[in-house]
Amino acid sequence: MNFVEELRWRGMLHDIMPETEEYLLKNKTTGYIGFDPTADSLHIGSLVPIIILMHFQKAGHNPIALVGGATGMVGDPSGKSDERNLLDEETLNKNVAGVKGQLARFLDFDSTSENAAELVNNYDWMKDISLIDFVRDVGKHITVNYMMAKDSVKKRLDADSQAGMSFTEFTYQLFQGYDFYHLFKEKNCVLQMGGSDQWGNITTGTELVRRKAQGKAYALTCKLITKADGTKFGKTAGGNVWLDANRTSPYKFYQYWLNSSDEDAESYIKIFTFLDKETIEALIAEHKQAPHLRILQKKIGEEVTKMTHGVEAYENAIKASNILFGNSTAEDLKSLNEQTFLDVFDGVPQADIERSVIENGLEIVPAFSETSFLKSNGEVRRALSENSISVNKEKVKDDFVITISDLIADKFVLLQRGKKSYFLLKVI
RNA sequence: GGUGAGAUACUCAAGUGGCCAACGAGGGCAGACUGUAAAUCUGCUGCGCAAGCUUCGAAGGUUCGAAUCCUUCUCUCACCA
């Protein structure tokens, strides 16, 4: 199956420039996607462009991942209703390094391979361009009229937009356009891909290629991921779901996918896994037979977690999920040895506690409030009256006292608020 | 620089001297139900066991009493230059 066809049946294709598909069928093509270094880790929203590059590579083309060290300094106004704060250079460098490292986990950058992926940073060619050069060589080719017509700009100039837009962000599309032109010239890169919000920026690039180099460049965008309930994809109450295991533990990462709604799961399995059409259709059919088993969610969680964090991390996430949500009891918990226990609870927030405190008996209220698990004594009491507090998976009342006999592996106490919120006390 | 409007808890937003720890909505959290879901219902959502304490942009002041009145300051927005 060819690249565009693949994206199409997976429901990822949003917009494609005429003749792009024909060109890709006839030519081994170099194409790129840009990644914004707004943080030192990518989050699951970036998985989609990564996966597109992976499909691209699988189809035999040459993918380039561009990290926006320069464009990140300018700030992309697309989809933003407000002017962004600029990152300082130090942060940006750190972010670029972090993002680079993560991309390497997904794409084959092995230079001996036939169509190895390549990683570039646009700072490398942007840093030496002077303002005069830029204004004469780039600015001259694109009219303000053209730039103003872009959605990302129009929205900010609307009467009801109160934010306005700085010259800096207005210029952004020229930066990104220039990247495309540069890659076209230097690496014969003729295709830029990205999220549908990038269409405007990408076409500025193809326009620049056409006017400045009399070349033909192509564009392709994918659908932005939405959730059926209208909330933002990749966000939880605790913030973004990151690809970095230190920011979002593999367990939480797996849980995010497991908690997808049925509706979303059907589209996610096509987008986020590389399973073939028959397999996916069979899974969907099977899921509909018994939705409560959540076959789709589990499969997505498995595939994506393995791809992102590796098999071992996935297995621990499963183990943790079974213990935390299965019918396991205090007895089961106590039967775990220290290592298994730590693997399972990797990523669960913890606090250290003196052994003597437990020996003297730790009352339930301070156990929760003084460890910063819950904010205040009042909150603990409230939670107790809601019957939502558990110690080692067993509901407790406000007169409960934690003692030595509650220790797991002679070292841990598992505190719990509600069904999903855990906290670990570690005896030192 | 000029004129006008505004700043209330996570967000929006009522309150214009005591009945205000502050209406309401959203969000969040929890309980029931369930599939670790959706929908629904219920409770909670400044600190404190409580008496009470600290909050309504900041600082002062008037008053027995201020989110509400006065003064100064800071910031935001709109229109004009």
Strands A235-236 and A239-240: antiparallel
CA of A235 to C1' of B24 (A): 28
Q: What is the mean pLDDT of chain A?
A: 86
3-state secondary structure chain A: CCHHHHHHHCCCEEEECCCHHHHHHHCCCEEEEEECCCCCCCEHHHHHHHHHHHHHHHCCCEEEEEECCCHHHHCCCCCCCCCCCCCCHHHHHHHHHHHHHHHHHHCCCCCCCCCCCEEEECHHHHCCCCHHHHHHHCHHHCCHHHHHCCHHHHHHHCCCCCCCCCHHHHHHHHHHHHHHHHHHHHHCEEEEEEEHHHHHHHHHHHHHHHHHHCCCCEEEEECCCCCCCCCCCCEECCEECECCCCCCCHHHHHHHHHCCCHHHHHHHHHHHCCCCHHHHHHHHHHHHHCHHHCHHHHHHHHHHHHHHHCHHHHHHHHHHHHHHHCCCCHHHHHHCCHHHHHHHCCCCCEEEECHHHHHCCEEHHHHHHCCCCCCCHHHHHHHHHCCCEEECCEECCCCCEECHHHCECCCEEEEEECCCEEEEEEEC
Residue A86: pLDDT band (50, 70, 90) is low
Nearest nt by C1' to A419 Cα: B36
Q: Bridge partners of A191?
A: A31, A218
Instruction: Report which residue type is found at A142.
Output: I
Range name among A50-64, A78-92, A204-218 with the lowest pLDDT average: A78-92
**What's the CA–C1' distance between A157 and B80, in Å?**
20
**What is the CA A161 to C1' B3 distance in angstroms?**
23
Nearest residue by alpha-carbon distance to C1' of B43: A386
Which one is predicted more confidently, A141 or A151? A141
Rounded CA–C1' distance between A165 and B67, in angstroms: 35
Residue A159 has pLDDT above 60, yes or no: no
The model's pLDDT over A230-280, given as tens digits with 9 standing for 90+, comes to 677 877 766 678 898 888 888 889 988 998 888 889 899 999 999 999 999
Does A377 contact strand B, using a CB cutoff of 7 Å? Answer: yes
Report if CB A376 to strand B is under 7 Å. yes
**In A 161-190, which Cβ lie closer than 7 Å to strand B?**
162, 164
- Give the least confident one: A54-68, A186-200, A327-341: A327-341
A395: nt with nearest C1' to CA: B31
- R_g over Cα of chain A: 26
Could you tell me what percent of chain A has a pLDDT over 90? 38
A381 CB neighbours strand B below 7 A: yes
Chain A residues 249-278 with Cβ under 7 Å of strand B are: 255, 258-259, 261-262
Q: What does the pLDDT average to over A132-148?
A: 89
Of all nucleotides, the one whose C1′ comes closest to residue A317's CA is B36
Q: Residue A386 CA to nucleotide B78 C1', Å?
A: 48
Asked if A66 CB < 7 A from strand B, the reply is: no
Nucleotide nearest A381, from its CA to each C1' = B49
- pLDDT at residue A316, as a whole number: 85
Say if residue A315's pLDDT is above 80.
yes
pLDDT band at A344 (very low <50, low <70, confident <90, very high): confident
Share of chain A above pLDDT 70, in %: 93
Nucleotide nearest A238, from its CA to each C1': B28
Q: What is the spatial distance between Cα A200 and Cα A189, in angstroms, rounded to a whole number?
A: 18
Provide mean pLDDT across the span A77-90: 66
Q: Which nucleotide is nearest to A374 (CA to C1')?
A: B29
Whether A419 sits with its Cβ under 7 A from any strand B atom: the answer reads: yes
Residue A327 has pLDDT above 70, yes or no: no
- On the question of pLDDT at A84 being above 70, the answer is no
Q: Please count the CA atoms within 13 angstroms of the CA of A152 that sit on its side-chain side.
A: 25
> What is the set of domains in chain A, with CATH numbers?
3-222 (3.40.50.620), 235-325 (1.10.240.10), 330-427 (3.10.290.10)
Please choose, from the candidates A390, A260, A388, the residue with its C-alpha nearest in 3D space to the C-alpha of residue A333: A390
**Global pTM?**
0.85
CB A239 within 7 Å, strand B: no
**Residues A157-172, mean pLDDT to the nearest whole number:** 67
- pLDDT score of A157: 67
Interval A188-231: pLDDT, tens: 999 999 988 899 999 999 999 999 999 999 999 998 887 877 67
Q: What is the pLDDT of residues A365-423, one digit of tens each?
A: 888 888 888 888 888 888 888 888 988 888 888 888 888 888 888 888 888 888 888 88
Looking at strand B, which nucleotides approach a protein CB closer than 7 A?
28-32, 34-39, 43-50, 77-78
